Amino acid sequence: MALDTRPLDTKGALKISDKDFEQLRDYIYNVCGIYFHSSKKYFLESRLARRMEGTGCKSHADYYQYVRGGVTGSAELKKLLDEITTNETCFFRNIPQLTALENKFLPEIVDQKGKIGFKKLRIWSAGSSSGEEAYTMAMLLLEKRATLLKDWIIEIVGTDINETVIAQAKEGVYSAYSVRNTPDYYLKKYFKEEQPGRFVLSPEVKKLATFSNVNLYDDTKMLFMKSFDFIFCANVLIYFDTASKSKVVQHFYNNLQPYGYFFVGQSESLHGVNDKFRTVHFPGGFTYNK
């Protein structure tokens, strides 16, 4: 998940007052922890314009009441969250991270769990967007099925607050832009180019990953996200303020196995957010464990 900061044509859009901006900003924050600084007022205004047109609301105050009300409001909230978040990702996005996972951290955890005879591996791609990260993991692990992960159960869980990208992930059809970093070996083995620029993921990869709509800020939902060996959450934390970031990271801490690893984006850090994690360095990057 990431904020969608692409320009939007809002010619003639109703200007939002400071009061309405703060009211809607605070509502979004309380729902999902995403915080809009006052410098992002125009961005929120532009996204609200499309939703106000879709609902027929004539003012931002009317829209605020609409999105907070009953069944229709609940459905509208999902559309609003889809409007302010989007996917900016690709397959094989962070090569140093993937290399470290494949060569160091995965064998380490397989060895530890293998000693107690528990051959089940669980990976969580949080803020999974349209599924590229989760499916990248699936391809890497499929390559280990005959060796390191022989007779292992593999579960990859992808979650995102944006229902549109979750639907795209489940479909498993991608553009040339999405596969731009994919090595030829994986592209030829696990994709079928049905037509120029349209790549369909193989069922073998798709069946290793499940996707669902999950709000990382929701304490109740987080109670069910347990016992992960690896958690990946790239380019999500940067859109939270310190308080909401701390809350979300604590969820990750609670749901990570004692020997597990937590990966964030290249530009992200837990510095000043959570002191329960320890930094573990590898060539080209770092990860965290308890």
Q: How far apart are CA 21 and CA 257, in angstroms?
A: 40
pLDDT band at 7 (very low <50, low <70, confident <90, very high): very low
Assess whether 31 and 129 both reside in one domain: no
Angle at which helices 70-84 and 18-32 cross, to 10°: 90
**Cβ-contact 149, 121 below 8 angstroms:** yes
User: Could you tell me if 51 and 110 lie in one domain?
Assistant: no
What is residue 13's predicted lDDT score, i.e. its pLDDT? 64
Which domain CATH number covers 144? 3.40.50.150
The answer to whether residues 180 and 39 belong to one domain is no
User: Has residue 5 got a pLDDT over 50?
Assistant: no
**Predicted confidence (pLDDT) at residue 276 exceeds the cutoff of 80:** yes
Neighbours of 282 (CB within 10 A): 15
What CA–CA distance (Å, rounded) separates 28 from 191? Answer: 38
- pLDDT computed for residue 6 by the predictor: 42
Annotate 93-132 with b (16+ C-beta within 10 A) or e (fewer): bbeebbebbbeebbeebbeebeeeeeeebbbbbbbbbbbb
* pLDDT value for 49: 93
pLDDT tens track for 233-261: 998 998 899 999 999 999 999 999 999 99
From 86, 103, 122, the end of a domain falls on: 86
Both tokens assigned to 68: 């907070």
Residue 112 has pLDDT above 90, yes or no: yes
Query: Cβ(265)–Cβ(234) under 8 Å?
Result: yes
Residues 242, 143: Cα–Cα separation, whole Å: 39
The whole-number pLDDT of residue 201 equals 98
Beta pairing, strands 2-3 & 85-86: antiparallel
Q: Of 36, 55, 86, which marks where a domain is finished?
A: 86
Q: What is the mean pLDDT of the segment spanning 66-86?
A: 89
pLDDT band at 9 (very low <50, low <70, confident <90, very high): very low
178 and 134 within one domain: yes
Helix (H/G/I), strand (E/B), else coil: 69: coil
Distance separating alpha carbons of residues 262 and 229, to the nearest angstrom:
9
Q: What angle do CA 6, 12, 17 make, to 5 degrees?
A: 85
Give me the chain's average pLDDT, please. 93
Question: What is the mean predicted confidence (pLDDT) over 23-40?
Answer: 94
What is the residue range of 204's domain?
95-289
Whether residues 233 and 282 fall in one domain:
yes
CA dihedral of residues 270, 275, 277, 281 (deg, nearest 10): 60
Task: Note the residue count of the chain.
Answer: 290
- The number of folded domains in the chain is 2
With b for 16 or more beta-carbon neighbours within 10 A and e for fewer, the 137-157 pattern comes to: bbbbbbbbeeeebeebebebb
Are 81 and 135 part of one and the same domain? no
Report the range of poorest mean pLDDT among 209-213, 214-218, 266-270, 285-289: 266-270
pLDDT at 1 over 60: no
Same domain, 99 and 81: no
Q: Is the pLDDT of residue 119 over 80?
A: yes
Note if the pTM is more than 0.85. Answer: yes
The CATH number of the domain holding residue 58 is 1.10.155.10
